Structure 1
């Protein structure tokens, strides 16, 4: 599927169309993952990245990869 948006001419002078498209894909994948609408692996796929590169992107954008309370983590570790 393709989505078309109109951007003001002054905004696209700074970047190539391909760069803007890639940035929008990455941003959307990050947003979907942050909203818990897709899994980490699906978000990475949507962004066109491997999972480790997507995890690094999450870190750079302050998007937690593991969303677990300290209590839940303690309980999980006790079970090991």
Structure 2
């Protein structure tokens, strides 16, 4: 599927078209992943990156990769200590 958007010319001259496309794909993939709309592997695929490079982008853009609250983590650790 292809989606087209119109950008003002003064934005397009700031960087090559292929870089704009990459940045838009990455931004959308990060948004989808952050909002739990897609898995990590699907987001990486959309961004045209391998999983490790996508994880690096998540870190750079402050997108959490592990969605566990402090309370959940402490509960898990307490359960492990009980064994």
TM-score (norm 2): 0.88
Q: C-alpha deviations, 1:9-40, integer Å up to 9, x for none?
A: 00011111111001100000001001110011
* Structure ID, larger Rg: 2
Moved over 6 A (4+): none
Task: Tell me the C-alpha RMSD between the 2 structures.
Answer: 1.2
- Pairing 1:69-80 to 2, within 5 Å after superposition: 69-80=69-80
Q: How many residues align?
A: 80
> 1:39 matched to which residue of 2?
39
Please list every run of 5 or more consecutive structure 1 residues that lacks an aligned counterpart in the other structure. none
> 1:27 matched to which residue of 2?
27
Aligned-partner Cα distance in 1 for 2:34–2:17: 26
TM-score (norm 1): 0.91
